[in-house]
């Protein structure tokens, strides 16, 4: 893919590294000279020390070729302007971080895929890591539900249990659903007759009310 990344700060740098490693054709636009120079020295991609809200800069970045424009600056007004300009050029995928929730309607009206308040996402992740050490990853779907990834412990209540009987027995709490299972490197869709084994990695859909019990069901914590 041909990607234009606006901003080479903490978020942008990690994104640039991943995109370059995956073999994408990446152009970076960074207004700060020191950051632009650092990105140019670090990554095998074109780095423009310029203002992405300037139309000529986007033309220089060959925005008409872009499969996606991703704006990662810490200023919502800049991100909005970049998204509007990218939309004018018909870029099919518009992605931006959003720092102030009050600005969400503007981004949504443009049709942007949102990364909402990355600082809050990091804080939530760190908090979950401390509160639930057995959770390897989580995705908050809305204010009341989330997906969590867990590795099943040998002494966990769900170890050795069939899914179809686990709910009846109370080992699997109400409001909790196993939606994916990884075993021996193979990902499968669990069924009622599936037996959960120690070492399985499970992805569990749960509401917040059942989160503590869901984690406890698959770990010995």
Asked if the model's pLDDT at residue 130 lies above 70, the reply is no
Q: Around Cβ 55, how many Cβ atoms within 10 Å?
A: 13
Dist. CA 86–CA 66, nearest whole Å: 9
Residue 83 pLDDT: 95
Asked if the model's pLDDT at residue 214 lies above 90, the reply is no
Percentage with pLDDT > 70 across the chain = 86
Residue 143 pLDDT: 64
Query: What does residue 188 show for φ and ψ, rounded to 5 degrees?
Result: -135, 160
Asked if the model's pLDDT at residue 150 lies above 90, the reply is no
Quote the DSSP letter at residue 152.
Answer: P
Find the mean pLDDT for residues 63-83.
95
In terms of DSSP bridges, do strands 201-207 and 186-188 run parallel, antiparallel, or are they unpaired?
unpaired
| Residue-wise pLDDT tens digits, 34-50 | 999 999 999 999 999 99
The sheet with strand 176-183 has its strands ordered as 135-140, 145-151, 201-207, 176-183, 186-188
Q: Residue 2: exposed, middle, or buried by beta-carbon count in 10 A (0-12, 13-18, 19+)?
A: middle
Dist. CA 139–CA 185, nearest whole Å: 21
CATH hierarchy code of domain 121-218: 3.30.70.1450
| Residue-wise pLDDT tens digits, 76-124 | 999 999 999 999 999 999 999 888 888 888 998 998 886 666 665 666 6
- Every domain of the chain with CATH number 3.40.50.720 lies at 2-116
CA-based Rg of the chain, rounded to a whole angstrom? 22
Query: Of 149, 181, 143, 178, nearest to 164 (Cα)?
Result: 178
pTM to 2 decimals?
Answer: 0.64
- Every domain of the chain with CATH number 3.30.70.1450 lies at 121-218
Residue 167 pLDDT: 79
CATH fold of 2-116? Rossmann fold (3.40.50)
């Amino acid at each position: 893919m041909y990607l234009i990344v606006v901003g080479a700060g903490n978020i942008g740098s990690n994104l640039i590294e991943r995109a370059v490693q995956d073999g994408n054709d990446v152009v970076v636009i960074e207004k700060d000279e020191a950051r632009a120079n650092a990105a140019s020295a670090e990554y095998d991609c074109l780095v423009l020390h310029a203002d992405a809200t300037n139309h000529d800069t986007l033309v220089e970045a060959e925005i008409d070729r872009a499969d996606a424009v991703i704006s990662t600056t810490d200023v919502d007004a800049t991100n909005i302007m970049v998204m509007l300009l990218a939309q004018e050029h018909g870029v099919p995928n518009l992605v931006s971080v959003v720092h102030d929730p009050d600005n969400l309607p503007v981004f949504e009206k443009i049709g942007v895929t949102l990364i909402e308040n990355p600082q809050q996402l990091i804080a939530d992740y760190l908090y979950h890591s401390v509160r639930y050490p057995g959770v390897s990853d989580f995705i908050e779907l809305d204010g009341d539900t989330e997906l969590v990834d867990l590795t099943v412990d040998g002494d966990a209540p769900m170890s050795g249990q069939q899914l179809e009987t686990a709910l009846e027995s109370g080992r699997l709490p109400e409001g909790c659903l196993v939606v994916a299972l990884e075993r021996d490197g193979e990902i499968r869709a669990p069924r009622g007759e599936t037996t959960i084994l120690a070492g399985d990695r499970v992805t569990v859909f749960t509401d917040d009310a059942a989160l503590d019990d869901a984690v406890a069901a698959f770990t010995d914590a």
